């Protein structure tokens, strides 16, 4: 039951984040709405996301192909490792973050 609620919440956040069109700044989050991180692959990439530190607990890991998307709640600092960073688009609260990186890399998402 709890897992079903979590899945529904993640889907709702993913749909909201992908719909874009928000004119509000990234830092502004409505009360009661949890910030989200949406990862979209534009090519094959393996991704791992950890909380708090670069060696913290893994909250998501997966192989993504072009057009795959995955949404995560953002509760503080995240550390994202990708095998081909150039194949990954990153959105934070519905706004695309710049990603000038390529190759295998770990980046911090504040």
CA distance 6 to 90: 21
Work out whether strand 95-97 and strand 105-109 pair parallel, antiparallel, or are unpaired.
Answer: unpaired
Please tell me the distance from the alpha carbon of residue 110 to that of residue 78, in angstroms, as a whole number.
Answer: 7
Q: Which residues are 48's β-sheet partners? A: 61, 81
Positive or negative CA dihedral for 72, 73, 74, 79? negative
Report which of 51, 42, 54, 38 is spatially closest to residue 85, judged by C-alpha positions.
42
Kindly report the CA angle at 75 between 69 and 80, in degrees rounded to 5?
A: 50
From CA 96, how far away is CA 90, in angstroms rounded? 6
Residue by residue, pLDDT tens for the chain (110 residues) are 545 445 565 565 556 655 554 434 444 445 567 899 999 999 999 999 999 999 999 999 999 999 999 999 998 999 999 999 999 999 999 999 998 999 999 999 98
pTM, two decimal places: 0.67
């Amino acid at each position: 039951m709890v897992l079903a609620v979590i899945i529904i919440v993640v889907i709702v956040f993913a749909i909201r984040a992908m719909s874009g069109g928000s004119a509000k700044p990234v830092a502004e989050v409505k009360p009661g709405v949890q910030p989200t991180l949406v990862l979209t692959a534009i090519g094959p990439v393996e991704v791992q996301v950890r909380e708090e530190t670069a060696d913290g607990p893994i909250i998501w890991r997966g192989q993504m192909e072009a057009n795959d998307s995955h949404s995560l709640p953002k509760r503080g600092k995240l550390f994202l490792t990708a095998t081909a960073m150039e194949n990954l688009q990153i959105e934070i609260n519905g706004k695309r973050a710049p990603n000038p990186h390529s190759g295998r890399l770990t980046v911090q998402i504040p």
